[in-house]
Structure 1
Amino acid sequence: MRILFIYASIVLSSLQGVANASVPRSQACQHQANEFRCVRYLSNYDGDTITFQIDGVHPLLGDKIPIRLSGVDTPELKSKQRCEKELARWAKRFVRAQMRQASTIKLSEVKRGKYFRVVAKVDFDGKDLGDLLLKNGLAVPYDGGKKSKVNWCKKLAMRSSSSARR
């Protein structure tokens, strides 16, 4: 009986190796401890919460994972301020457009945030999404601590006046 158990264990182990070998992952797409490569954009709730398809992660994590963009804070869609809501919609559309056009997306510096959310830097086609949001006036720097009060109406006015000059 013991020999049968050992034999069955060896057979199952070898079959597991065959199953894993049948799904080759490119070396460029190998995940690291704090970095996911070759992820696919699925959707974004707003400018700083994006859902990605991350193949090859443990099933307990799931493969469709919402990521909180690190280093920035974008306006909230559920705000009572009209200016903040409008800028939030712009940020959402901006992120959607950038992610849909991206040919490669990488999540780096992946960690858990203060609300146990997954927080990461999002790089696509050699560009940093957080930096682009900041440069376009659609976000403010954020280190994960207490959020500072932002005058989104002033940011919207600045953005509108710079758009009018173009």
Structure 2
Amino acid sequence: MYEYKARVVDVYDADTITVDVDLGFNAWLRGVKVRLTGIDAPEVRGEERPDGLVSRDWLRAEILGQDIVMKTTKDGTGKGKYGRWLAELFRADGNIISINQELVTKGLASPASY
């Protein structure tokens, strides 16, 4: 497991975000697409759109523009089938509750294994 500090620069939907990753020593990896692992959120297009917008808007209000901590695991590439990094998210303030789990607890996403 690897842990990175990052700043959230975009929330596409409740399980896909874009971050700038702090690599330390004033080095950043910008525009990294991240898939929130262990959850499946409604899509913002198609039939799920109304629920998808509610889930996305909650996540935006919680983390957009904020610093977070990402915990990633490597599965050979560390990326899912769409080329996004897979990560569990935590607030940078030390809150030990997973943001991924919060989405599930609030009914904004479902648990998923893939």
TM-fit CA distance, 1:77 = 1.1
Give the 3 Å change call, closer, same or farther, for CA 108–76 of structure 1 in structure 2.
same
Counterpart CA distance in 2 for 1:95 and 1:76 is 13
Residues 67 and 85 of structure 1: CA distance in aligned 2, closer, same or farther (over 3 Å): same
Match of 2:10 among 43, 48, 56: 43
Q: Give the corresponding residue for 1:34.
A: 2
Q: 1:100 to 1:78 in 2, by over 3 A?
A: closer
The structure 2 residue matched to 1:109, chosen from 72, 83, 92, is 72
Greater relative contact order (Cα 8 A, min sep 6): structure 1 or 2? Answer: 2
Taking the aligned partners of 1:101 and 1:53, their CA distance within structure 2 comes to 10
Deviation for aligned residue 1:100:
3.7
Higher strand share: 2
Q: Is the alpha carbon distance of 1:135 and 1:101 closer, same or farther for their aligned partners in structure 2, counting shifts above 3 Å?
A: farther
Structure 2: which 5+ runs fail to align?
A: none
TM-score (norm. length: structure 1) = 0.56
User: Kindly tell me: are residues 51 and 96 of structure 1, through their superposed partners in 2, closer, same or farther at Cα, counting changes over 3 Å?
Assistant: same
Aligned residue pairs total 104
The whole-number CA distance in structure 2 between the counterparts of 1:118 and 1:100 is 18
Larger Rg, first or second structure (1 or 2): 1
Once the two structures are aligned, what percentage of the paired residues are identical?
Answer: 29
Structure 1 stretches of 4+ with a deviation exceeding 6 A read none
Give CA-to-partner distance per residue, 1:72-124, whole Å, 9 cap, x none: 00001112x2xx2111001111111110485x410002421233321111111
The 8 Å contact of residues 8 and 64 in structure 2, kept in 1 or not, is answered as: yes
Aligned equivalents of 2:11 and 2:64: distance in 1?
11
Q: Secondary structure at the match of 1:54?
A: strand
For structure 1, the 5+ residue unaligned runs are 1-32, 145-166
Q: Which residue of 2 aligns with 1:130?
A: 100
Q: Distance in 2 between matches of 1:100 and 1:115?
A: 22
Give the residue type in structure 2 aligned to 1:105. Answer: I
Asked if the contact 2:19–2:33 (Cα under 8 Å) also holds between the matched residues in 1, the reply is yes
Matched, 1:140 2:107: no
Q: TM-score, length-normalised on structure 2?
A: 0.80
> What RMSD over aligned residues (CA atoms) do the two structures have, in Å?
2.2
